[in-house]
Structure 1
Amino acid sequence: MRRADRLFQIIQILRRARGPLTAEAVAVELETSKRTVYRDIAALIGQRVPIRGEAGFGYVLEGGFDLPPLMLTPDEIEAAVLGAQWVASRGDPALSQAARDLIAKIAVAVPERLRPHVLEPVAATPPNWRNTVDQIDMGLVRAWIRSGRKITLAYRDEQGRESARTIWPVAIAYHETTRILAGWCELREDFRHFRTDRVAGADFLDERFPERPGILRANWRRTLGRMPEKTLKTS
């Protein structure tokens, strides 16, 4: 690997890390030596890349640093376009339009030699023949999840029985033919999953739930491993 490519990869590795990374961890991923990583990081710091840390403790790329726009590899372009294709065919209307806009922006912004990776990708997602028709504004749902506010749902189960559920929404799952809204259900006092095509109505409340959204989402993720049988159950 050329040194310039290695320096770029070090920045990418530090950018996606959630905490300090040791030189050894970086060296393993790059298949090089720790001595080389130490030299490269020193060179990056000398070029005013805001890397904080020291040998033996680990390194962190501080916020606010960015590379020139869309310095993407062909594989990164393929990954972005494939993901955007999936969202365009399976997301709610707002996300679908955003995904199509994203593909168009990538096509304009990347160098001409890489444009075929956007306009003529070799990977593609199958069409979604049964796209869900939501009875709830998914754009508002995403906003309420981010702001940590409650939603009251008029929800129909598999037998068509309707109930009112006030939930603390945490996440939206996009399946092949359905979308799932996950949240803490005040009625059941547990996490529940609601198919958005079974929501008959929704009241978006101004009331915030007492738990921080990030903490609540982490608690929900921890429950997924122990609740395979009730993933789609609401009662």
Structure 2
Amino acid sequence: MSRAERLLALVQALRRRRRPVAGSELADELGVSLRTIYRDVQALIAQGAPIEGEAGIGYVLRPGFLLPPLMFTDDEIEALVLGARMAARRGDDRLATAADDALAKIAAVLPADLADRMEGDGLLVGFGRPERPDGVDLSALRAAIRNETKIAFAYVNERGEASRRVVWPIALAFFDRVRVLTAWCELRSDFRHFRTDRISEPTVLGQRYPRRRRALLKEWRELENIRLPGAGGAETACTPAETQPRRRAAG
């Protein structure tokens, strides 16, 4: 590993963590000596990286430090391409268009050799569409999640029972054959999972729900014993709609 690659790897290791990390842990992860970590941290600080901490205490990288796209590794480029292609296959039409646009932007700023590799990689995403069409505009659901606004809709559960719901949407899961909305349900005063193909007559109420989505999402993960792969990592959890269909399915 060259010095430039090592410095990049050190920045990435710091970016993955939200709390101070010991130099010894960084040394083990990068396969270098603790003295090398101390030198590299000082070199990054001299180049403008907002790293706080010191030897014996730990280091943390303040948010907002950006790396130019041309410093992506081959594996990182392939991860971005694969993720975008999965979004294009599994997401709604607007999400699919956004994924294609994102790939085009990435390709536009990459060195020619990496851009060529991105175009000719061997990563494929199989076809997969929901068994039944969604009863709600998924882009509107995603907007309600981002804006932390309540939505109302009619719902028919797996037993054929109909009800009206007002919910606080916090997450949307995309599976091969179904999409599932995770939300706090005012009717049940609890978290519930709603298949989007069973939703009808949706209305975005434009009213913010009283709690922050991040706090609700954390509470839901704890209740379902769901852990993320790492600090700042992508959400990969399976909702109970896939693993335990009856546990918090809407009822």
Q: Please classify the TM superposition score into its range, dividing by the shorter chain length.
A: over 0.9
Which residue does the alignment assign to 2:138? 138
Comparing 57-66 and 173-182, the one that deviates more: 57-66
Quick one: structure 1 residues 132 and 93, their matched pair in 2 at CA, closer, same or farther if it must change by over 3 Å?
A: farther
Q: Is residue 234 of structure 1 aligned with residue 227 of structure 2? A: no
Q: Is the 8 A contact 2:70 2:111 kept in 1?
A: no
Which residue does the alignment assign to 1:218? 218
Which residue does the alignment assign to 1:192? 192
Query: TM-score, length-normalised on structure 1?
Result: 0.92
Can you give the 5+ residue segments of structure 1 that lack an aligned partner in the other structure?
Answer: none
Q: Is the 8 A contact 1:136 1:199 kept in 2?
A: yes
- Root-mean-square deviation (CA, aligned residues, Å) is 1.9
Which residue does the alignment assign to 1:178? 178
How many angstroms apart in 1 are the aligned matches of 2:197 and 2:13? Answer: 40
Identity over aligned residues, as a percent?
45
Q: Is the 8 A contact 1:153 1:201 kept in 2?
A: yes
Residue type of the alignment partner of 1:164: R
How many angstroms apart in 2 are the aligned matches of 1:176 and 1:100? Answer: 20
Matches within 5 A, 1:151-170: 151-170=151-170
Residue type of the alignment partner of 2:249: K
Deviation at 1:131, TM superposition (A): 6.5
Deviation at 1:45, TM superposition (A): 1.0
Q: Is the 8 A contact 1:153 1:164 kept in 2?
A: yes
How many angstroms apart in 1 are the aligned matches of 2:206 and 2:59? Answer: 41
Deviation at 1:225, TM superposition (A): 3.0
Residue type of the alignment partner of 2:79: A
How many angstroms apart in 2 are the aligned matches of 1:183 and 1:49? Answer: 39
Can you give the 5+ residue segments of structure 2 that lack an aligned partner in the other structure?
Answer: 227-239
How many angstroms apart in 2 are the aligned matches of 1:232 and 1:178? Answer: 16
Deviations 1:172-204 (A, max 9, x none): 011011111000111112111011111112121
Residue type of the alignment partner of 1:233: A
Which residue does the alignment assign to 1:113? 113
Deviation at 1:109, TM superposition (A): 2.0
How many angstroms apart in 2 are the aligned matches of 1:116 and 1:177? Answer: 33
Number of matched residues?
235
Deviation at 1:71, TM superposition (A): 1.9
Residue type of the alignment partner of 1:88: A
Residue type of the alignment partner of 1:100: D
Deviation at 1:63, TM superposition (A): 2.4
Which residue does the alignment assign to 1:54? 54
Residue type of the alignment partner of 2:189: E
